């Protein structure tokens, strides 16, 4: 069976419910992991997702900010999140679908100053990564595990529009790159979108609203990730290929999120 997992920072699920329906109709994800839903659980547009066929829901909401959710076509099992946000934000939600554990995160952006002492938001971001990495180290790499979401770090030189310039900008600074690398190495996680689109091709999932034409300026970042445990290697790599892509056409839709959805297929 094909299990298609999508991750998307929707930047308000109530504003983007119609776009979510269009995306689900066109790409048929079995599981849609969302970040920045910006609503409480009771405000989530359940009926819209039930109409899409994604009627199995797990929601961690927060008034006006943050918030994550997972909508699934298939039945879900509850599983604990790998960690909880130290600030009490709704940034983590987890389920098991078709035997695959899916951990969906909205990791803090980190503010503007890449200094843990002077900028508590940056310290929060790195603390989040350190706590998550410690939790992953305790897991068996053979577990069928997906770590996904808006992880707010563009980890590679070709995941940013300018490696040299972005090294000074939060999302691609050396401490963040080290934190992301440590997380990857904690379980030898597989970066499915990058395996499907190898270096040195540029690969972005976020473009600022400031650009009148995001394609023309193309100052993008790859902030949205689907990472798989070694236990899912055979499910993710079929006949030597990984099926994963960024749906950048969604960024062209009217009143879009600044993030594009990312999908990956597993054979389970």
Residues tagged in the binding site annotation: 9, 36, 150, 152, 258-259
DSSP reduced 3-state for 199: coil
Residue 184 to residue 168: CA distance in whole angstroms = 22
Closest residue by Cα to residue 78 from 94, 60, 99: 94
**Torsion sign (Cα): 57, 89, 155, 160:** positive
- Please report, in range form, the residues annotated as the binding site for Mg(2+): 9, 36, 150, 152, 258-259
CB atoms within 10 A of CB 75: 11
* CA distances (Å), origin 147, targets 39, 101, 173: 23, 9, 22
Type and span of the H or E element at 48: helix 46-51
- 3-state percent helix, strand, coil for the chain, nearest multiple of 5: 30, 25, 45
Place of tokens 């394609």: 215
Active-site annotation holds for 150: yes
Residue 175 to residue 199: CA distance in whole angstroms = 22
Question: 213: phi > 0 → left, psi -120 to 50 → alpha, else beta; which?
Answer: beta
Give every strand in the sheet of 145-150, ordered side by side. Answer: 77-78, 92-97, 100-106, 145-150, 224-228, 190-191
Residue 191 to residue 184: CA distance in whole angstroms = 8
CA angle, 107 as apex, 59 and 254 as ends, to 5°?
Answer: 70
Which of 106, 172, 224, 265 does the annotation list as catalytic?
A: 106
Residues annotated as catalytic are 106, 150, 259
């Amino acid at each position: 069976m094909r299990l298609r997992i999508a991750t998307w920072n929707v930047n308000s699920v109530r504003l983007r419910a119609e776009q979510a329906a269009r995306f689900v109709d066109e790409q048929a994800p079995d599981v849609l992991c969302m970040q920045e839903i910006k609503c409480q659980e009771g405000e989530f547009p359940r009926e819209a997702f039930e109409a899409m066929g994604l009627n199995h829901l797990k929601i961690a909401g927060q008034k006006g900010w943050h918030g994550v959710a997972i909508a699934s076509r298939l039945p879900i099992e509850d599983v604990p999140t790998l960690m909880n946000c130290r600030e009490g934000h709704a940034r983590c939600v987890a389920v098991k679908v078709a035997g695959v554990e899916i951990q969906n995160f909205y990791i803090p952006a980190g503010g503007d100053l890449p200094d843990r002492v002077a900028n508590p938001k940056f310290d929060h971001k790195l603390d989040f990564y350190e706590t998550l990495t410690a939790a992953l180290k305790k897991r068996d790499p053979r577990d069928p595990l997906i770590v996904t979401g808006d992880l707010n770090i563009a980890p590679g030189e070709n995941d940013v529009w300018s490696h040299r310039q972005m090294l000074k900008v939060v999302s691609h600074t050396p401490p963040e790159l080290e934190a992301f690398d440590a997380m990857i190495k904690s379980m030898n996680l597989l970066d499915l979108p990058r395996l499907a689109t190898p270096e040195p091709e540029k690969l972005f999932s976020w473009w600022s609203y400031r650009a009148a034409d995001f394609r023309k300026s193309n100052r993008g970042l790859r902030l949205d990730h689907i990472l798989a445990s070694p236990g899912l290697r055979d499910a993710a790599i079929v006949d030597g290929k990984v099926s994963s892509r960024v749906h950048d056409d969604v960024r062209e839709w009217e009143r879009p999120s600044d993030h594009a959805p990312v999908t990956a297929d597993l054979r389970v």
